[in-house]
């Protein structure tokens, strides 16, 4: 079907009267353009029912209305709408009549309009989103129509949306065979004699193959038509070389095109086993993975192609080749970016099944809706070569029960009945699944530690025990019993925080393929060594690749209770455990990981906060340290300071202002992390990495001069809807004043509007829809959206400490 975005000219207001006798549009209704996240527009509130789970933001009940004229000719057409995601409990009314509903906030769903339209007249589309029941999410969900909406129009006989499925059947030395299934439907009362034409074009638009077949559809009939098409000298898709083709499908009746569709796809074949691991097109691949939540940083959950393209691009530049979308189906915008840029995807269906994790979450609807939502996910993903794995659940507690194992089997079989080209897993946290035997596990572990005399901390605090002794817990025989039941129900075993089992389980269960579906960031050096060593372990997915709103404080280093970690208090709003911060800036953990992956030859310098020297750092397992890459520290001259260097090679040397502070072991022998302690002396640090006595890389870090200014640095990019403007407080040489906390105000005039303004500060005092923020570690970010007409946009950033900075852009 032909589809066009239906994002313009919507009205929005909060729904305060569910039993409204008058179906009107109130005067206070706002004019908006989709995608729209209503939750991010409300300031964080310390009295939020969700607390830190959603960054102290609550949902509400939302009304959206769009008026449109349905031409008279639509009477003899098929008319639908496609919603790519509405959070959550969505009801779609056409002219006051309920046409569709969807509880799950992450599924793509379609609404058939023909039964409700008034042809030749104005029609009302009303979407009511009942997202006011809190709590319903463990992380920031957003609220409202936060993904794109489309209008779909075709003849009465048409190709079903998402009904064209393209599968690589075989790959030979000089050709490939693709199997294309096209789902057709005839709403006419007479038979339809049709011709289906399928044309395959390469990335340059050259036709490389084609096929044309006759089809007859009888009254009210539906049929799937299969075509096997040969493509000579195929260009194969992989994350390293993401070659894409375009499948152009046209449906003819009496030599007239009555429907058409285009679908990009890649030619690739997947294999997996315990002997050779995961193979893409016959080549073994280890997954350098990042778990990622669905939000768009400063824009909340609003999903734009440009946001996801930028996110995937930065993640790939940081060394990742795979993402796990946690813990819900990935957006089509992000899939397009992963296909184009080359990123493997583990798409995940649910965070809960029959047991709710929040008071009013999807667990309330799972039993009635899971099959529809699984089908929606698979149909959405089918033609995207980036998708290689389906995770059918995350840390499901009922996996420790026989019924939970049965549900796991049912979901996995449902997925494979819809798509037999990819592999299934469930992301298992052995501790969460242990249920009633947790007390026994704790008692046994505590007894072992007491016997060894190595027990530290409060044994009554289970979270503390998990933090310090997770490796002991996850190898307990009770967890082994659970895994023996669960793992055979899927193709791959997803292990959350159970790297201690990799080696042993490879011996005990020689046919079990394992992926580290969720792991602690500081553990990457150990984990990656195991991934490389064992063929049955296919990859590691860190929590997380990109920072996000909600689960506030889990990655915030602290020196007093309540500042960070599990007990973080308001105004903490971000998790702050991402390799990449919420603005897209790479944090030290990202460079540490890049070195561990073997993708970086230069060392990387990070410095622990000298103002906290000697104090005990309170940290969760997701925190490496409180270090940042800076040699600019106020009032610290002559005081002790600890420098961390992430380095490859055998040795690393640290030089301060031309004086060597010595060489120390680096690389694998040092866990890729070397420490130097010295006294702070402004100037320049230089780290040099050596292999066999020869320099293989270096990095310099300089103190920022006292004279600084505000600098706006527009990011270069493709022809895009959004413009990203990183803002820095730096000296004339570009050195960042990382301790600078400057209040910034922004004004934008001309051909663009500002839609997001903020920093990576996990405890910001400013909401991201305000025109004011404060720098964090010397940085902030503004996001602009182009208006319809091209022209000039003027941006002015004012500061309480520096001169105004003004730039103009032609867009």
- Tens of pLDDT, residue by residue over 270-280, are 999 999 999 99
Return d(Cα 99, Cα 92) in angstroms, integer.
6
Chain centroid to CA 607: 29
Over 90: is that where the pLDDT of 718 sits?
A: no
Chain centroid to CA 255: 45
Is the CATH number of domain 601-702 2.60.40.10?
yes
**Model pLDDT for residues 472-487, shown as the tens digit of each residue:** 899 999 999 999 999 9
**Contact between 149 and 7 (Cβ < 8 Å):** yes
Token pair for 146: 């936060």
User: Average pLDDT, whole number, for the chain?
Assistant: 95
Token pair for 48: 């939020």
**Contact between 252 and 195 (Cβ < 8 Å):** yes
Q: What is the reported pLDDT for 269?
A: 98
What is the chain's length? Answer: 811
Using only C-alpha atoms, the chain has a radius of gyration, in whole angstroms, of: 28
**Model pLDDT for residues 325-374, shown as the tens digit of each residue:** 999 999 999 999 999 999 999 999 999 999 999 999 999 999 999 999 99
**Contact between 102 and 87 (Cβ < 8 Å):** no
Return d(Cα 614, Cα 680) in angstroms, integer.
15
Tell me the mean pLDDT in the region 771-781: 97
H or E element in which residue 68 lies: strand 61-70
Asked if 2-154 and 601-702 have one fold, the answer is no
Q: What is the reported pLDDT for 3?
A: 92
Predicted TM-score (pTM) of the model is: 0.97
Residues near 310 by beta carbon (within 8 Å), at least 6 away in sequence: 584, 715, 717, 724
**Model pLDDT for residues 525-537, shown as the tens digit of each residue:** 999 999 999 999 9
**Contact between 487 and 396 (Cβ < 8 Å):** no
Dihedral sign, CA of 659, 664, 670, 672? Answer: positive
CB atoms within 10 A of CB 416: 17
Over 90: is that where the pLDDT of 171 sits?
A: yes
Edge-first strand order for the sheet with 673-679 is: 604-607, 640-646, 673-679
Residues near 639 by beta carbon (within 8 Å), at least 6 away in sequence: 610, 613, 679, 680
Over 90: is that where the pLDDT of 436 sits?
A: no
CATH node for 276-544+586-595: 3.20.20.80
Tell me the mean pLDDT in the region 301-308: 98
Q: Which CATH architecture has domain 709-810?
A: Sandwich (2.60)
Better-scored residue on pLDDT, 318 or 717: 318
Q: What is the reported pLDDT for 458?
A: 47
Token pair for 14: 């909060």
Q: What is the domain partition of the chain in residue ranges?
A: 2-154, 157-268, 276-544+586-595, 601-702, 709-810
Maximum separation of any 2 CA atoms in the chain, in Å: 90
Distances (CA, A) of 86 to 129, 796, 811: 8, 35, 31
Among residues 404, 394, 351, 291, the alpha carbon closest in space to that of 88 is found at: 351
| Confidence label for 470 from pLDDT (cuts 50, 70 and 90) | confident
Better-scored residue on pLDDT, 1 or 698: 698
**Contact between 571 and 46 (Cβ < 8 Å):** yes
Q: What is the reported pLDDT for 447?
A: 84
Over 80: is that where the pLDDT of 459 sits?
A: no
Among residues 601, 678, 692, 694, the alpha carbon closest in space to that of 646 is found at: 601
Q: DSSP of 421-480, one letter per residue?
A: SSEEEEEE-HHHHHGGGHHHHHHHHHHHHHHHT---S-TT-HHHHHHHHHHHHHTSHHHH
Return d(Cα 191, Cα 253) in angstroms, integer.
11
Range in 204-213, 288-297, 466-475 the model is least confident about: 466-475
In the block, tokens 């903020």 appear at 758
Tell me the mean pLDDT in the region 490-501: 97
Q: What is the reported pLDDT for 456?
A: 59
Return d(Cα 320, Cα 526) in angstroms, integer.
17
Return d(Cα 12, Cα 145) in angstroms, integer.
10
Over 70: is that where the pLDDT of 264 sits?
A: yes
Token pair for 213: 């077949």
Is the CATH number of domain 2-154 2.60.120.260?
yes
- Residue 435 burial by CB count (10 A; 0-12/13-18/19+): exposed, middle or buried? middle
**Class of 157-268 per CATH?**
mainly beta
β-strand pairing of 30-32 with 10-14 = antiparallel
Q: What percent of the chain has pLDDT over 90?
A: 91
| Confidence label for 464 from pLDDT (cuts 50, 70 and 90) | low
**Contact between 223 and 184 (Cβ < 8 Å):** yes
């Amino acid at each position: 079907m032909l589809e066009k975005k239906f994002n313009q000219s919507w009205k929005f207001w909060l729904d305060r009267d569910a039993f409204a006798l008058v179906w009107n549009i109130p005067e206070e209704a706002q004019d908006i353009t989709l995608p729209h996240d209503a939750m991010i527009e409300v300031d964080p509130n310390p009295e939020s029912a969700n607390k830190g789970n959603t960054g102290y933001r609550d949902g509400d009940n939302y009304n959206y209305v769009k008026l449109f004229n349905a031409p008279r000719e639509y009477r003899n057409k098929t008319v639908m709408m496609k919603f790519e995601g509405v959070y959550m409990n969505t009801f779609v009314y056409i002219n006051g009549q309920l046409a569709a509903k969807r509880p799950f906030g992450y599924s793509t769903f379609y609404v058939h309009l023909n039964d409700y339209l008034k042809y030749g007249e104005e029609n009302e589309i009303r979407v009511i989103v009942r997202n006011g029941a809190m709590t319903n999410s463990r992380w920031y969900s957003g609220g409202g129509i936060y993904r794109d909406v489309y209008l779909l129009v075709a003849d009465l006989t048409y190709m079903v949306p998402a009904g064209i499925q393209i599968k690589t059947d075989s790959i030979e030395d000089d050709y490939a065979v693709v199997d294309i299934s096209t789902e057709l439907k005839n709403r006419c009362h007479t038979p339809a004699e049709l011709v289906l034409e399928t044309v395959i074009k390469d990335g340059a638009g050259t036709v490389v193959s084609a096929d044309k077949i006759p089809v007859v559809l009888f009254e009210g009939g539906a049929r799937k038509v299969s075509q096997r098409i040969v493509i000579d000298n195929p260009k194969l898709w992989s994350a390293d070389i993401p070659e894409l083709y375009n499948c152009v499908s046209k449906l003819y009746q009496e030599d007239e095109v009555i429907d058409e569709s285009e679908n990009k796809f890649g030619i690739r074949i997947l294999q997996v086993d315990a002997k050779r691991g995961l193979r893409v097109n016959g080549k073994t691949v280890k997954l350098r993975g990042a778990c990622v939540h669905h939000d768009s940083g400063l824009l909340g959950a609003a999903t734009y192609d440009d946001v996801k393209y930028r996110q995937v691009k930065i993640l790939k530049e940081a060394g990742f080749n795979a993402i796990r979308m946690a813990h819900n189906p990935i957006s089509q915008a992000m899939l397009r970016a992963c296909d184009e840029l080359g990123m493997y995807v583990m798409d995940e269906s649910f965070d809960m099944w029959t047991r709710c994790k929040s008071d009013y979450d999807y667990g309330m609807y799972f039993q009635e809706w899971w099959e529809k939502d699984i089908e929606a996910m698979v149909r959405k993903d089918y033609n995207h070569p980036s998708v290689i794995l389906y995770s059918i659940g995350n840390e499901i507690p009922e996996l420790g029960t026989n019924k939970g194992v049965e549900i796991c089997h049912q979901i996995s079989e449902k997925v494979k009945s819809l798509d037999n080209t990819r592999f299934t897993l469930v992301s298992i946290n052995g501790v969460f699944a242990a249920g009633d035997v947790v007390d026994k596990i704790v008692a046994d572990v505590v007894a072992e530690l007491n016997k060894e005399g190595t027990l530290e901390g409060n044994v009554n605090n289970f979270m503390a025990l998990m933090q310090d002794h997770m490796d002991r817990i996850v190898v307990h025989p009770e967890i082994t019993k659970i895994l023996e039941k669960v793992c055979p129900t899927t193709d791959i075993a997803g292990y959350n925080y159970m790297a201690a089992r990799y080696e042993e389980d490879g011996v005990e269960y020689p046919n079990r393929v394992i992926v580290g579906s969720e792991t602690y960031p500081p553990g990457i050096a150990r984990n990656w060594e195991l991934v490389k060593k064992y063929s049955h372990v296919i990859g590691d997915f860190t929590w997380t690749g990109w920072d996000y709103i909600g689960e506030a404080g889990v990655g915030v280093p602290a020196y007093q209770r309540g500042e960070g970690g599990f007990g973080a208090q308001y105004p903490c709003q971000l998790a702050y455990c991402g390799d990449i911060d919420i603005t897209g800036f790479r944090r030290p953990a990202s460079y540490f990981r890049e070195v561990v992956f073997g993708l970086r030859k230069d060392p990387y310098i990070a410095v622990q906060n000298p103002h906290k020297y000697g104090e005990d750092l309170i940290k969760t397992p997701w925190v490496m340290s409180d270090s940042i890459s800076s040699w600019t520290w106020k009032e610290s001259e002559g005081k002790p300071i600890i420098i961390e260097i992430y380095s490859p090679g055998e040795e690393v040397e640290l030089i301060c202002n031309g004086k060597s502070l010595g060489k120390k072991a680096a690389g694998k022998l040092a866990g890729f992390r070397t420490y130097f302690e010295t006294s702070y002396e402004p100037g320049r640090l230089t780290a040099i990495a050596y292999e066999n006595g020869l320099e293989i890389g270096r990095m310099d870090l300089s103190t920022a001069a006292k004279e600084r200014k505000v600098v706006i640095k527009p990011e270069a990019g493709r022809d895009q809807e959004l413009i990203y403007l990183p803002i820095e407080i730096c000296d004339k040489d570009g050195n960042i004043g990382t301790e600078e906390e400057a209040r910034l105000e922004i004004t934008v005039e001309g051909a663009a509007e500002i839609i997001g303004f903020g920093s990576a500060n996990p405890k910001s005092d400013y909401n991201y829809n305000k025109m004011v923020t404060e720098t964090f570690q010397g940085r902030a970010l503004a996001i602009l959206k182009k208006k319809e007409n091209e022209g000039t946009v003027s941006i002015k950033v004012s500061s309480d400490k520096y001169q105004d900075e003004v730039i103009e852009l032609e867009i």
